[in-house]
């Protein structure tokens, strides 16, 4: 049976980071809506967004958890970090390509919108995901290390904070990718 003080500690660690996560994700959604409305290809772009945001979270969360585990058990070393980073990027590349492919298929069979070519369906999620992960990985390693040094459990504190940070940077890099590629 869990002690009363450990439950209170858990709530004390998680509540502030979850609150930040909610506020950050809402702000990212509002910013994204305002930025994407200017594109003619908005109907197709809106198909990519939910999968892309979910993908980033599904890929960066295990990375954060593995990093926190390594810190907690004392196995945080260069080899584990490199393996973790490489596996995260490989997974991101594969799933970003799948998102592009599925979005293309959904568009082809249901909407038949022709704003850009097949390559853009792959490049948009791929480039924006790689940019986002490049920053999110560094931030999560630093935050995990800091939180651990302060005696908190990184598994309780960091994932919600990284959700907000990741959503924000995902929006920024999605928008920059659209500008770089010249998406209409």
Q: Which residues contact 32 (CB under 8 A, 6 or more apart)?
A: 49, 171, 174, 175
Instruction: Report, in angstroms and rounded to the nearest whole number, the Rg of the chain calculated over CA atoms.
Output: 18
Calculate the alpha carbon distances from 9 to 102, 123, 145, 151 in Å. 43, 44, 19, 12
Task: List, for residues 131-163, the tens digit of each pLDDT value.
Answer: 999 999 999 999 999 999 998 889 889 998 998
Q: What angle do CA 172, 177, 182 make, to 5 degrees?
A: 130
Q: Check pLDDT > 80 for residue 5.
A: no
Task: List, for residues 23-73, the tens digit of each pLDDT value.
Answer: 988 888 899 888 888 999 999 898 888 888 888 888 888 999 999 999 999
100 alpha carbon, distance to own chain's centre = 16
Q: At 3, is the pLDDT very low, low, confident or very high (cuts 50, 70, 90)?
A: low
Residue found by looking up tokens 């910013």 in the block? 31
Residue found by looking up tokens 């995990």 in the block? 144
On whether the CB atoms of residues 34 and 176 are closer than 8 A, the answer is no
Tell me, what CATH number does 120's domain have? 1.10.357
List the domain range (segments joined by +) for residue 105.
4-181
Q: Which residues contact 168 (CB under 8 A, 6 or more apart)?
A: 24, 27, 28, 31
Predicted pLDDT at 1 = 42
Task: List, for residues 65-118, the tens digit of each pLDDT value.
Answer: 999 999 999 999 999 999 999 999 999 999 999 999 999 999 999 998 888 899
Q: Check pLDDT > 60 for residue 4.
A: no
Of the candidates 29, 65, 52, 23, the residue with the CA atom closest to the CA atom of residue 133: 52
Give the dihedral sign, CA 58/64/66/72: negative
The total number of structural domains that make up the chain? 1
Q: At 7, is the pLDDT very low, low, confident or very high (cuts 50, 70, 90)?
A: confident
Of the candidates 183, 163, 159, the residue with the CA atom closest to the CA atom of residue 171: 163
Q: What is the largest CA-CA distance in the chain?
A: 59
Of the candidates 120, 129, 97, the residue with the CA atom closest to the CA atom of residue 184: 120
Query: DSSP state, 112?
Result: -
């Amino acid at each position: 049976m869990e002690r009363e003080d450990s439950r209170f500690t858990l709530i004390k660690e998680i509540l502030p980071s979850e609150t930040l996560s909610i506020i950050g994700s809402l702000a990212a959604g509002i910013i994204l809506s305002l930025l994407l409305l200017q594109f003619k290809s908005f109907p197709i772009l809106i198909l990519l967004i939910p999968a892309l945001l979910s993908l980033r979270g599904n890929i960066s969360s295990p990375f954060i958890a593995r990093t926190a585990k390594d810190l907690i058990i004392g196995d945080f070393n260069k080899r584990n970090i490199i393996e973790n980073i490489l596996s995260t990027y490989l997974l991101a590349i594969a799933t970003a390509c799948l998102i592009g492919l599925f979005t293309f298929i959904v568009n082809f069979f249901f909407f038949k919108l022709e704003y850009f070519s097949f390559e853009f369906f792959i490049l948009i999620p791929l480039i924006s995901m790689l940019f986002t992960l490049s920053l999110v990985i560094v931030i999560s390693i630093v935050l995990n290390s800091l939180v651990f040094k302060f005696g908190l459990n990184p598994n309780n504190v960091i994932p919600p904070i990284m959700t907000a940070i990741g959503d924000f940077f995902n929006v920024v890099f999605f928008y920059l990718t659209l500008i770089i590629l010249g998406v209409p």
